[in-house]
A and B are shown apart, each in its own frame.
Chain A
């Protein structure tokens, strides 16, 4: 009821609700006979297909079909339902098999629906082809393949797959490097072949599939050279044979062909949809436009990541078996495409085995011990392992995950809430596996890992068996294991507070918790300090919101005193140090406080820290970190705010990390965080400058190009910013490539220093390859001879 209607309240006036105790006889109010509208009811039925239920699967499938055919609905509802079917196949691909069976049953009684659904699906596929959304093409095509029994001209589908393959082959033969579009097409083809046989295992289909596979060998897929950069395991220490997904898929398929396409993936639906007589429908051919596009053309190659291996039993399919890719593909699509409802994703992960052939997996929640005593011949594949591995592979994908890492955290958190007994031990094993390989993990993966695990623990009371890591506290300070423990605790602290975290840690670990003051003192203003008087005046002036001119006097005093004291430092540096510390101190109560103090004092800050003053900018960062030495997380936030207000330039922050910090600081999370932030900021500045409008609207409303000198100003600004970004990359490579000096005494430290530097460099080269394309020359001019760097740069060309 709309609240704006004036008559609305009047209707209820004077009428008491009966149960409020008036003397009418007590009777239940009769409800109008409520019929749930068709769409929500059917939607619920169809979206639950295949989930654990008290009805056997065949019954559910038939029930869905019957409910669908027994109601008559208008065109709008029909279209919504068809669209829902296609969306299920995209968002919840695990359910497509039961859904297809159900639609077959629908066709048995109501063949007009059968014809319309198939027609609609072909239309949708065509629109995805035209839009270049190849992953959706793959998924809807799979739906069509599963509906083979009701399609009369199925050759059209096979023919389309063949056309895709031909086009992919043509595309690779034309270009010398990597072609992301060809890879997408090729992936659609290879991943469709097994389903052709799954949907119809006749010899005829097998022969056709083999034929297509043989043809697919013409595709020139040279293993990617950038593998080293995309591998989460460094130093060639991958615990399994690591390879890119397409190459792996070729191997798996060739094994499958050798086994004569023996693939028992699905529930046997043949008995359900059985009918002696049903209509088949002919479909329109799918058209492949002359000019194809790929929606995500900048996607880097996929590699196959594994986290469960070398257990006493095989809990996941071996990598050379097609099942490993098919499961991963189904799960990844669910995780990525259903990201708008993580609870649903978690439910499907936990029930993952329910959607496939019974007996394909060991029962859920089977412990490893029990698995190792399993009867010979029965499956030892743990559905939880396979499902969690798919999420972890998404999280640790390099150079970046397809969705924000926090999404994968949240899916894992949901899964753990839904089925703690099944999932918690599975996580434990992944965590221990990653921990034991820390010394061979990519730096970015280490930080992703610490980020995830700390976030996860913050949702589960911070309980972890810390004692199993106690011994590692004696390792070298830069050993990744020791660094990981430190960073993990530090990240926990940032999400919580010291007293709480100390409670959860064994005594041996409590030294790693820096409590620090909530508001550290402004030490310059302490009575015994030489600048005590002036510092207090600065503080007072800031509080009184005085303008830059009014600070001149006190700044001069500080300078004079500094010269008198014969400080080696520049007199102006002292002014900078006192003023910036004062602001940080005033803003210590919260991030909003520091933000507003920065805003208020901006004019003075610009005087103290002029725009073109790299050295001074670096000093500001140093001062902030000096003040917040126990809470570097807060220091990072303050530096970010200073950068956002353009008090300090991104380049200066990068220089501070590379030039002013000790070499060992590359293991610090804040270096990693700020380096990424600074580069992103420099990129953003370019984007902002490019977005400045080049036209103005005059009084008559006509758009006019800006005056020439204005245009030049804009272009010059863009040019300068681009040069700065380039300069940032050159600086990073130059400084990180600088050999680490050391002697025999601290050999191990030097080794790890080098390790962290290399890791940083590899990550920067990998993650920002698109931004330094025209940087090859300046880098060459640096005269770099380090093979590692030269190789890495060459490899990024493939990303």
Chain B
């Protein structure tokens, strides 16, 4: 049975990468294709995990994410200046299957009472563990107006 051009599944698959483009990794997708064109994404066993509380520990992450399979390592996202957790991490599985299962079964569920977001990542590179915002943390924390006690209170808007 040859594969058809369109995805012929009867529902959207949850185990595909989001449309987020990380320019540094050169990851991009061709219009209309269901599979990412980037090689790194097709074989990757690493996931980006976002919307964590600053207080969530590696042990907690391990407890939840190892439900999909043994983890090779966890890399906590840190504030560039203070070297404290700033609300994201990378988890690396041993197998591709476990990573995809994580997208299907754990993405958009709660850890530490926050809905976490996972995304297939082209793979960790030294330097990516740091927040890329001007404040040292994640950029998203500089553009929020709400008070989020688990992510350092109000957004840390930086004067331009």
Q: Which residues of A contact B (CB under 8 A)?
A: 3, 39-40, 43, 47, 76-77, 79-80, 83-84, 87-88, 91-92, 123-124, 127, 338-344, 404-407, 409-410, 413, 451, 455, 458-459, 461, 494-497, 590-592, 595, 631, 633-634, 637, 640
Contact = CB atoms under 8 A, between A and B. Distances in A.
A404 B13 contact: no
Contact of A341 (B12, B62, B68, B101): B12
B4 A80 contact: yes
Contact of B8 (A80, A405, A413, A595): A80
B73 to A, nearest CB: 7
Given A83-B4, A590-B57, A633-B59, A406 B106 contact: yes
The 8 closest A-B pairs by CB, nearest first: A406-B67, A83-B8, A80-B4, A344-B11, A341-B11, A80-B6, A590-B58, A88-B10
Interface in B91-115: 101, 104-106, 109-113
Nearest to A3: B28
Interface in B42-98: 55, 57-60, 62-64, 67-70, 73-76
Interface of B: 1, 4-6, 8-15, 28, 55, 57-60, 62-64, 67-70, 73-76, 101, 104-106, 109-113
Given A404-B67, A595-B73, A79 B4 contact: yes
Contacts of B57: 497, 590
Contact of B110 (A92, A458, A590, A634): A458
Contact of B11 (A76, A91, A461): A91
B10 A410 contact: no
B104 A342 contact: yes
Nearest to B13: A340
Contact of B105 (A3, A91, A404, A633): A404
Contacts of B11: 47, 91-92, 338, 340-341, 344
Contacts of B110: 458-459
Interface class of chain B by DSSP: loop
A87 B59 contact: no
Contacts of B74: 591-592
A634 B76 CA distance: 17
A342 B14 contact: yes
Given A461-B113, A591-B62, A633-B63, A341 B105 contact: no
Contacts of A83: 1, 4, 8
B10 A92 contact: yes
A409 B10 CA distance: 22
B63 A494 contact: yes
Contacts of B1: 83, 123-124, 127
A340 B102 CA distance: 11
Given A590-B57, A592-B73, A459 B109 contact: yes
A404 B68 contact: yes
B155 to A, nearest CB: 24
B149 to A, nearest CB: 13
A342 B60 contact: no
Contacts of B60: 494-497
Contact of B6 (A39, A91, A413, A592): A39
Nearest to A411: B105
